[in-house]
Amino acid sequence: MATVHLPSGLTQYTGGVETIDIDAARVPELIAALGHRFPQIAEQLGEMAVAIDGEIYQDPGYQLLRADSDVHLVPRIAGG
Amino acid sequence: MTVTKLHIETTINGEPREFLCDSHETLLSALRNGLGLTGTKEGCATGDCGACSILLDGRLVPACLVLAPEAQGRAVTTIEGLSSGDALHPLQQKFLEHAALQCGVCTPGFIVAAKALLDAKPNPSEDETRYWLAGNLCRCTGYDKIIRAVLDAASEMKESAI
Amino acid sequence: MTTPREFKYVGTRPIRHDGVDKVTGRASYGADVVWPGMLHGFVLRSPHAHARIVSIDTRAAEATPGVKAVLTGKDLPETTATIALGEAAIDLRDVGDNMLARTKVLYHGHAVAAVAATTIDIAREAAEKIQVVYEVLEPVTGIDRAIAADAPILHPALRTKGAASPGAAGPTNIASRLEFKRGDVDAAFAEADVVVEREFRTPMVHQGYIEPHACIARCGEDGRAVVWCTTQGPFVVRDACAAIAGLDPAHVKVIPSEIGGGFGGKIVVYLEPMAIALSRKAQRPVKMVMGRDEVFRATGPTSGSRVRVKLGAKRDGTLVAATASLWYEAGAYRGSPVGAGAMCALAAYKIPSFFIEAHDVVVNKPKVAAYRAPGSPIAAFAVESVVDEIARELKMDPIELRLKNANAEGDKAPYGPKYGPIGLKQILEAARNHPHWTSPLAANQGRGIAVGFWFNAGMNSSATVILDTDGSAAVVTGNPDIGGTRAAQAIMVAEELGIPVERVRPGVGDTDGSGYTDLTGGSRVCYATGMAVIRAAEDVRDQLKARAAQIWNVAVDAVGWENGRAIPPAGTEKAEAMTVAGLAAKMAHTGGPIVGRASLYAPMAGPAFGAHICDLEVDSETGQSKVVRYTVFQDVGRAVHPGYVEGQMQGGAAQGIGWALNEEYIYDADGVMENAGFLDYRMPVASDLPMIDTVIIEVPNPLHPYGVRGVGEVPIVPPLAAVANAMRDATGIRFTELPLSPPRVLEAIEAASAVSVGA
Ligand code: FES
Ligand code: FES
């Protein structure tokens, strides 16, 4: 199960849930499962970058997850 | 139709050249657009950035503040006239060795301005170099390597002159 | 643990391959080309900061002899496309509206029409004949006005995205709100022995690249377009042009010129789709070049800001609690870098409890664009100023205080994930041990230190390495070379193939000549594109090994590789090690030409920190200050060409010093920028600065084969606070508003001395 950390700013829409374990082999399934669980933030989840075990992917695509991956959803960042 | 263009005869980088221009056209525009000498850059067109630095009868001027007709009968030196044959000018060589350019758009102006400095003062101090080049903006380098390149070129030119 | 690799070329300083063209004036930048039959485009811009466009009458302009095409917003399709480019430049409808207003003008200088004519003078005169009727609206010229209850609304449909503040609903100028929190902040502050809280303001500042935006485009009867332009991202331009001008991206080719600086400001399109649309109407090439005032008024500066920071510490210096409230101006359309600012604000410190909120605010000023570590310098100015105050209250050395709280590998970044290997402690220790830190100061001088953080981007990169029969190689990528990346890429190919750097020809491909590559920016070229270059060179090497195996009639796996030579397996008869040149000469007999290629998507590079020490001398009679000594420490992972790495560190520091001391957008009450030229927008010149010393720290990034982290952005983050902290040290005054220009400093010094005289 990957451990997903929700952005703290969104916990007002998740009933205070900050961390949740999700069984998903790839990022899209993980996002879909989260969106299913928290429909109010589903739209925003798709616009976020994903940090998997410390590596931030601006466009996470179909990145694979390990069974014990630590996943953080973070805002996208622009570079100059 | 009346003739509206002026006919100018001048010397550019040692060669006699003729061109046509409007009376209000800048020398920068004439060099870049009429004569195809695009090494001289435009960064502001108001005399504040030095990207268009040229020598007019040996004097350092921003070409954007000179009217093209003023070149009549005078000698213009641009960045294209600095190397001789297949040898770079020592300033050009030192800019390369010191990595004194990043984007490089300010570089022609700096090299022409630095040449004017070394023509006037072959052995400038760091401070003199910084003040002389204060009319040239570089946004990439923080000037450190530019100043080092100019000082190094000065000492090398002095040595080879001995 | 693997033994560190020995490098032959990485870490050397060869002369850049494009150098001679650039010191002789031969290199072609955006405005340097002429295409046969080309027209000149001129843009008509709004004289109002906020107005509704009632009508535009272009008939008189169209009737002017020499005019070949006139364009208004109505000529372009509305697009809803987006490009994934992080938080700053995503919505192409906004990019299109920003390029050419449709219904409303949102800042002074906003484009409303464009004319293409046989000469620039004709185009300009014709543009002046265009009749635009405006219904003028009250301008919103700053954050305070934008968020007032009765503020005029820029975009009636705009609603706050993200973590809305309670009670926020309906039309607003707050485009988004983000929160980051950890722990119980109130309880943590109650435990603190010292608490410092300040509010900071910074004005809009511009990237200030010396080359103005310029392009030339042609669009034929078949709807195919070719664009030559100065840009950090040719593929971004291609996709944006197609969407905004209404073309199939398959029909657009973008050729990047040499680029005269960008710093994030040459990513968004301002001219290119207009040039295409004008060319399509006129069926001739159209060249468009901005003037400097247009660059200031109508291209991306970075945000003006209001940032409130509160920090709490124990007596021993342990930071226990923090709050930060960030408000960044986005300009006319949503998308300031405030999210990144919030993520960077506390990135250096292990603080168990914090609350950060970030607001993106639209105002009637130009839409901001990325500017070197977008969002981070503003946040660091506030946080690092408050950290300095905490050190003063605790009478602690500011480096010791920072070291005590510094994040290290395994610590959790404030934005969530754990850090990998990072060099924050190493740079702080290097700063503490550097002679600059302990050297004596003269009278009227002060010393400041500050640290800064940036993520460093990854994303899409492609590279092709082409081997020639003489054993030399060309390497092509899609990244315009803005500061020496060609040389770095040549070094990498040389390193992998074992051929001299001078025998590698690095090139920049156009959008048809290279695989998709994200922009030159985000400190990503040496890291992400560099990784593609290394892999493409490895691909060449693997093919060479296969060719050697063929020649020796042995298994590929048995072929070794050492010092640029294929090594036959022991005991192979009549086989001697073969060089790249030897193998290349035999290509035709062993299967034909060899081309190596690699494409990849890189995660964000290793996060990086820098620390800057600034010595400032202040003239208390004039308020004038001067940086007298400056040292930059930075963890770059690995310096591939140290000369250009130092150059990035020095250049970033100089830009940050300008931001701290002099640069600002000055607006009048009507929202008109009053200083849109280099005379009044005062960037640092050579006589303003000392030599800028650099100390390169290399804590290798495990994600890159050489350990590269990226370098370009971090160095603009610390200077704002480093300078302000030095000013505090020199004058005893904590300045919370930039720039520290002579009038502001003088006023504060006089006010302070009046108080002390009065007391
Ligand atoms: S273009 Fe002449 S000084 Fe800037
Ligand atoms: S090298 Fe880019 S402006 Fe000087």
Distance B146 CA to ligand 1 centre (A): 19
Is the CB of residue C715 less than 8 Å from the CB of residue C613?
no
CB-based contacts of B132, cutoff 8 Å, min separation 6 = B113, B114, B116, B117, B121, B124
Of C89, C523, C603, the CB nearest to A78: C89
Tell me the pairing of strands A49-52 and A2-5: unpaired
Is the CB of residue C346 less than 8 Å from the CB of residue C324?
yes
Interface touch C87/A74, C-beta < 8 Å: no
Distance B110 CA to ligand 2 centre (A): 10
CA distance from start to end of chain C:
64
Residues of chain C found within 8 Å of residue A76, distances taken between Cβ atoms: 84, 86-87, 339
pLDDT of residue A61: 85
Q: How close, in Å, is residue A34 to chain C by CA atoms?
A: 16
Given a cut of 70, is residue C3 above it in pLDDT? Answer: no
pLDDT of residue A16: 86
Of C263, C265, C455, the CB nearest to A77: C455
pLDDT in tens, C166-217: 656 789 999 999 999 999 999 999 999 999 999 999 999 999 999 999 999 9
Given a cut of 50, is residue C88 above it in pLDDT? Answer: no
CB-based contacts of C257, cutoff 8 Å, min separation 6 = C28, C29, C30, C32, C33, C214, C228, C229, C230, C480
Beta strands in C76-222 (DSSP E): 104-105, 111-117, 131-136, 161-162, 174-182, 194-202, 205-206, 214-219
Q: Is B102 in the pocket of ligand 2 (CB under 6 A)?
A: yes
pLDDT in tens, C442-460: 999 999 999 999 998 889 9
Is the CB of residue C699 less than 8 Å from the CB of residue C422?
yes
pLDDT of residue C79: 76
Distance C298 CA to ligand 1 centre (A): 20
Interface touch C678/B46, C-beta < 8 Å: yes
pLDDT in tens, C5-56: 899 999 999 999 999 999 999 999 999 999 999 999 999 999 999 999 999 9
Q: In the predicted model, what is the mean pLDDT of residues C365-373?
A: 97
pLDDT of residue C82: 66
Given a cut of 70, is residue C84 above it in pLDDT? Answer: no
Name the residue with higher pLDDT: C282 or C163.
Answer: C282
Distance C546 CA to ligand 1 centre (A): 56
Given a cut of 80, is residue C86 above it in pLDDT? Answer: no
**Ligand in nearest proximity to the CA of B28:** 1
Helix (H) or strand (E) holding C654: helix C642-661
Interface touch C416/A10, C-beta < 8 Å: no
C614 DSSP 8-state letter: E
Single-letter amino acid code for the residue at C226? V
- A→C contacts (Cβ < 8 Å), by residue, are 5, 7-10, 12, 44, 49, 51-59, 61, 70, 72-80
pLDDT of residue C162: 78
Domains and CATH numbers, chain C: 19-23+458-602 (3.30.365.10), 433-440+609-759 (3.30.365.10)
Query: CA C93 → CA B21, C76, C90, C96, distances in Å?
Result: 42, 11, 9, 5
pLDDT in tens, A65-79: 998 999 998 888 876
Interface touch C210/B137, C-beta < 8 Å: yes
Of B102, B103, B144, the CB nearest to C692: B144
pLDDT in tens, B31-85: 999 999 999 999 999 999 999 999 999 999 999 999 999 999 999 999 999 998 8
Distance C676 CA to ligand 2 centre (A): 20
Q: In the predicted model, what is the mean pLDDT of residues C599-608?
A: 89
Given a cut of 80, is residue C726 above it in pLDDT? Answer: yes
Q: Is B99 in the pocket of ligand 2 (CB under 6 A)?
A: no
pLDDT in tens, B84-127: 888 999 999 999 999 999 999 999 999 999 999 999 999 999 99
Q: Is B61 in the pocket of ligand 1 (CB under 6 A)?
A: no
Single-letter amino acid code for the residue at C331? G
Interface touch C420/A54, C-beta < 8 Å: yes
Quickly state the pLDDT bin for C89 (edges 50, 70, 90): very low
CA geometry: angle at C140 spanning C155 and C205, to 5°?
105
Q: Which chains touch A (3 or more CB pairs under 8 A)?
A: C
Kindly identify which residue of chain A lies nearest to residue C336, measuring between CA atoms: A78
Q: Is B138 in the pocket of ligand 2 (CB under 6 A)?
A: yes
Given a cut of 50, is residue C1 above it in pLDDT? Answer: no
CA geometry: angle at B138 spanning B135 and B144, to 5°?
100
**Ligand in nearest proximity to the CA of C27:** 2
**Percentage of chain A modeled with pLDDT above 70:** 98
Domains and CATH numbers, chain B: 6-81 (3.10.20.30), 90-161 (1.10.150.120)
* Tokens at C164, concatenated: 């809305």
C302 DSSP 8-state letter: E
Task: Measure the CA–CA gap between C712 and C508, rounded to whole angstroms.
Answer: 19
**Which is nearest to C381 in space by CA: C113, C741, C734, C3?**
C734
Phi and psi torsions of C111, nearest 5°: -70, 135
Residue nearest atom 4 in ligand 2 by C-alpha distance: B138
Interface touch B96/C650, C-beta < 8 Å: no
Query: CA C6 → CA C2, C535, C710, distances in Å?
Result: 12, 18, 20
Interface touch B104/C484, C-beta < 8 Å: no
Q: Residue with structure tokens 């760091």?
A: B126
pLDDT of residue A10: 80
Helix (H) or strand (E) holding C597: strand C595-602
CA distance from start to end of chain B:
60
Given a cut of 80, is residue C738 above it in pLDDT? Answer: yes
**Percentage of chain C modeled with pLDDT above 70:** 97
pLDDT in tens, C478-508: 999 999 999 999 999 999 999 999 999 999 9
C711 DSSP 8-state letter: -
Distance C685 CA to ligand 1 centre (A): 14
pLDDT in tens, C55-76: 999 999 999 999 999 999 999 9
When the pLDDT of each residue in chain C is averaged and rounded to a whole number, the result is: 95
- The alpha-helical segments, DSSP class H, found in C211-347 are 234-245, 272-282, 292-298, 338-345
Minimum mean pLDDT among A57-71, C391-405, C528-542: which range? A57-71
| ipTM surpasses cut 0.95 | yes
B34 DSSP 8-state letter: I
**Ligand in nearest proximity to the CA of C261:** 2
Interface touch C703/A51, C-beta < 8 Å: no
Residues of chain C found within 8 Å of residue A17, distances taken between Cβ atoms: none
Domains and CATH numbers, chain A: 2-75 (3.10.20.30)
Task: Measure the CA–CA gap between C662 and C640, rounded to whole angstroms.
Answer: 33
Rounding to the nearest 10 degrees, give the CA dihedral for residues B26, B29, B35, B38.
130
pLDDT in tens, C678-723: 999 999 999 999 999 999 999 999 999 999 999 999 999 999 999 9
